[in-house]
Amino acid sequence: MQCPGFREAASARLDGESPGVPVAELDAHLAGCAACATWAADASAVTRRARLAPAPPVPDLTVAVLTALPRQLPGGAAAARARVATSALRLALLAVGAAQALMAWPALVTGAAAMSAPVHMAHETGAWNLAAGAAFVAVAAAPRLAAGALPFLGTFAVLLTFLTTRDLAAGHVHADRAVAHLLLLAGVTLVAAAAWRGRRRTPTAVPAAERVAA
């Protein structure tokens, strides 16, 4: 082995690593090679100075770090309550959607509807009820769809409420038929609640000028 190999072995021993050669062979070479012995002594001195040199002073950043922390960490009881409320809302929407679809099924299959409506009118009514039930189930599965479904469902519910109230006053519809519409109103209310909760969770966009300034 040449001198560079023994110097590498000496350096590894200074670092606490295996020199890769027998220790007796390394010591014998250092004893007989003045250049390698001088190199090893200089390396040992440099290593010792580096290990014993005092550490530079570091400012205490404890106060600054603690001050920068938010006063209220995310999660906790408030987040748990929000998750429970969201789950309850989705389950309620799922139940209303299933009930709305079940109400539509007889009219679609048999063509029978309330107040002896014609077959096509029964099918049309069933299709509307089934579409509303599907919308409720879709929002229950993906609450982000609530804002998009609300204009259609809200318009349908408002017009149906107005017309049903007027027909009740005129005696054109029985009370039991009007009560059946409460299921639809409950579903629309739940969709509106889901859309409102989604709007609260959406972060406010930061203007481009503020992002550049930051």
Q: Distance (Å, rounded) from C-alpha 162 to C-alpha 155?
A: 11
What is the mean predicted confidence (pLDDT) over 130-141? Answer: 91
Residue type, 76: G
Q: Distance (Å, rounded) from C-alpha 144 to C-alpha 153?
A: 15
Kindly report, residue by residue over 145-175, the tens digit of the pLDDT: 999 998 988 898 898 889 888 888 888 777 8
What is the mean predicted confidence (pLDDT) over 55-67? Answer: 83
Q: Provide the pLDDT for residue 68.
A: 82
Q: Count of alpha carbons within 13 Å of 25, Cβ hemisphere only?
A: 11
Q: Provide the pLDDT for residue 112.
A: 57
User: Angle at CA 110, nearest 5°, toward 104 and 113?
Assistant: 55
The residue with greater pLDDT, 115 or 39, is 39
Look up residue 203 and give its DSSP letter: P
User: Angle at CA 158, nearest 5°, toward 153 and 160?
Assistant: 90
| Axis crossing angle, helix 23-32 with helix 34-52, rounded to the nearest 10 | 110
As a whole number, the mean pLDDT across the chain is 81
* Residue 94 in this model has a pLDDT that exceeds 90: yes
* Residue 212 in this model has a pLDDT that exceeds 50: no
Percent over 90 (pLDDT), the chain: 24
* Residue 210 in this model has a pLDDT that exceeds 80: no
* Residue 140 in this model has a pLDDT that exceeds 80: yes
What is the mean predicted confidence (pLDDT) over 193-211? Answer: 63
Contact 101, 76 (CB under 8 A): no
Residue type, 111: G
Q: Distance (Å, rounded) from C-alpha 37 to C-alpha 43?
A: 10
Look up residue 35 and give its DSSP letter: H
Q: Provide the pLDDT for residue 76.
A: 63
Kindly report, residue by residue over 17-59, the tens digit of the pLDDT: 888 889 899 899 889 899 999 999 999 988 888 888 777 788 8
The token pair that represents 82 in the structure block = 């929000």
